[in-house]
Amino acid sequence: MGKLSTHVLDITQGRPGAGVKVKLFRVDGSTKVLLKTDTTNQDGRCETPLLTGGEVVAGKYELVFAAGDYFAGQGVALPEPRFVDEVVIAFGIADADANYHVPIVVSPWAYSTYRGS
């Protein structure tokens, strides 16, 4: 059975993004259903997979990372409104038996994602 995991890397400080709030939504048309809320640990990862086994269903999803709150909590001077506040990654799961790892590399000014392993 598949699983979904994530990882946050703070590129400005060259370390994991610890304490970042993460929300996972399933998207069905214009409807979003909150599936899970978690916070990254000292390694920038959630302690358990966001989805695992039978929870992994083919479809569209969104991960929302509270990056602006994280950087503010790190004492970074941010403009108001924040340039990067919530990072929303919209992605699809095509194979429910596969593993999906969706990490982000983030700063107050930019972010990037990719499908990891």
Summarised one tens digit per residue, pLDDT across range 85-105 is 999 999 999 999 999 999 999
What are the chain's domains? 3-113 (2.60.40.180)
Cβ(40)–Cβ(102) below 8 Å? no
Alpha-carbon span 18 to 40, nearest angstrom: 5
Q: How confident is the model at residue 101, as a pLDDT?
A: 98
Q: What per-residue confidence (pLDDT) applies to 1?
A: 86
- Res 25: pLDDT: 99
Binding positions for substrate = 7, 45, 114
Check residue 117 and give its pLDDT.
84
Please state the pTM of the whole predicted model: 0.97
Residue pLDDT, tens place only, 34-90:
999 999 999 999 999 999 999 999 999 999 999 999 999 999 999 999 999 999 999
Q: From the annotation, which residues make up the binding site?
A: 7, 45, 114
Alpha helices in the chain, H assignment, sequence order: 67-73
Helix (H) or strand (E) run with residue 68 in it: helix 67-73
